[in-house]
Amino acid sequence: MSTEVIKSLQEAVQMSSTDAVAEAIHKLSTDAQAALIKQVNLELKKKYETSFYSFFVKAFTVLNPKTCFIDNWHYRYICDELQKVAEDNISCKDRKHNLVINVPPRSSKSTILLCLSAWIWIHAPEKKFLCCSYSPTLANDHTALCLKLITSGWYQSNWSNNFTMLSEVSRHISNDHGGYRTTCSPGSALATGLGADFILDDDPESANQVYSDKFMKRSIKFFNETLSTRFNDSKKGVFIVVQQRLHVDDTTGEILKNQKDLYKHICLPAILSDNVCPKSLSRYYRDKKLHAGRMNDIDLQQLKLKLRSQYDGQYLQLPTIRGGNFFKESWINYFTKEQLPPLKHVIISADTANTSTDTSCNVSIQVWAKALNSERYYLLHDETDRYSQAETLSRLINLKRNFYTSATLVIEAAASGFHMIEELKNTKDNKNTGYSVHAFSPAKYGGKEQRAESVGILWETGCIYLPDSQRIKTDYVPEVCSFPAGLKDRVDCMSQALLYFTREIPKIGGGFV
């Protein structure tokens, strides 16, 4: 190949002129063209091997040949962070940190993770991957796509000599160097002795399952007690969690509360906010969007209307919704003791545990009152914690006997509430008579969300007043305003109290006492 031709090719490439490049190549002989193509392919191969981001961009087009890839800065950033922890593991260095990454749906997070396995095997085919997702079917689909990439013409033409595939079943693929990629989901049984160098936890919870306390407990238990014990080398193994936020107590929530020092947190909401982490990434947002090329204001507004309470978690990465769809913080009025008006009626509302022996669920006890001359409702007292049946009964009696002697007890007539109602009726008050208890049947007003929506109008129209205290603002308000993404005990108890005032009392006899 002549010096002149090489020079003209270099100039054409520098000018980014495809016509000039084509003209320069056309001047080459057939052998020279073949040599050039070989050289270009070698350069590209080296680029894919040294840059996981470049590998991912090419792999995306291999897996999605009919989809137009719209690049964005967050792809490079996430890929570079994954490459750093991968290279440390490949080099047998101790882990600097694990990764927890929060991004909106359709951000190619699953494609990036499945590509990571294929890229690492280029350098270290002996590496083992344990890949988890909330659904076994979804986890198997990701492994199938990883296999599709590895067996593609592009991958095989470059790295077929690095390893040979052995097992190619949907949930488990392996190679002749001892490496494998196997799948699991919360609650599934893992084979004894099955270890990993990388644990990839991709969407550990789903939007439909986070409202199930049973599933959430199982998911977090699986994360803490099963997955975390499966590293081949506890100092070098890497845990990578990638998910959209769905619940304040999801896997990311568990990490940020109890394991923050072990993880680097990357949070990329769809819209620029203080929630971006690391903060320095805020400068890459264009038009205040994470990916303006794929999602504009109209798209996001339509998603907000469709997803309602789930939108803030999935797209803003804020499962604790400040100003959510059911109860907005801006609707709340606060009062001091000096501002409390004359009251017409006081009730002690209790949302009890699931069973008489259940100490794993929160019990919420709240004292509410209605103003004498207005449609205003005041929260006078809140205590929400894990109480046994005996503790709950003792606290209710203490409130009734020593603080709110004229209050009506309103107890949920469900689960352990039935037993609580009978115990209270048999408890003697100061006049040696049993306590008057109103059995509240929540099923009459629908599910938790329907009951909350029924009393939401009282919040929206400014009828709700909460104590002006730091504890209420840091504990009570965030839980209520995160509904239904967060805990539900306080909302259930509050809804019960307000429904009693607005629906039950008129049926009982009309007047307040």
CATH number at residue 245: 3.40.50
321 located within any domain: no
- The DSSP element (H or E) to which 129 belongs, if any, is strand 128-132
Per the DSSP assignment, residues forming a β-bridge with 181 are 129, 173
Q: Is 51 left (phi over 0), alpha (psi -120 to 50) or beta?
A: beta
Residues 444 and 483 occupy one common structural domain: yes
Q: Can you tell me which residue has the tokens 């009459």? A: 444
61 located within any domain: no
63 located within any domain: no
CATH number at residue 426: 3.30.420.240
Cα gap 149→114, rounded to integer Å: 9
Residues 381 and 291 occupy one common structural domain: no
Residues 220 and 308 occupy one common structural domain: yes
- The DSSP element (H or E) to which 174 belongs, if any, is strand 172-175
The pLDDT of residue 114 is 94
Q: How many domains does the chain have?
A: 3
Cα gap 325→307, rounded to integer Å: 10
Which residues form the domain of 10? 3-49
Task: Record the pTM.
Answer: 0.62
Domain boundary among 316, 351, 377: 316
Q: What is the mean pLDDT of each run of 10 residues along the chain (513 residues)?
A: 57 55 66 71 90 96 92 96 98 96 92 96 97 89 94 96 89 94 82 84 83 80 90 95 90 93 96 94 95 87 73 83 67 93 92 62 90 93 88 88 88 80 76 74 83 83 93 90 83 94 68 34
Residues 382 and 407 occupy one common structural domain: yes
Residues 396 and 479 occupy one common structural domain: yes
The pLDDT of residue 157 is 95
Residues 492 and 447 occupy one common structural domain: yes
By the 10 Å C-beta count (0-12 exposed, 13-18 middle, 19+ buried), 496 is classed as buried
Residues 16 and 150 occupy one common structural domain: no
Q: pLDDT of 410-425, one tens digit each?
A: 988 877 778 888 888 8
The pLDDT of residue 81 is 98
Strand 464-467: give its sheet, edge to edge.
333-335, 464-467, 377-385, 363-371, 343-351, 408-412, 437-440
Cα gap 32→226, rounded to integer Å: 57
62 located within any domain: no
Q: pLDDT of 259-307, one tens digit each?
A: 999 999 999 999 999 999 999 999 999 999 999 888 888 888 888 766 7
SS3 149: helix
Cα gap 270→347, rounded to integer Å: 43
Residues 306 and 336 occupy one common structural domain: no
402 located within any domain: yes
Residues 369 and 391 occupy one common structural domain: yes
The pLDDT of residue 512 is 34
DSSP code per residue over 293-333? TT--HHHHHHHHHHHTHHHHHHHHS-SS-TT-SS--GGG-E
Tokens at 477, concatenated: 């308000």
Per the DSSP assignment, residues forming a β-bridge with 467 are 335
Residues 404 and 370 occupy one common structural domain: yes
215 located within any domain: yes
Residues 341 and 446 occupy one common structural domain: yes
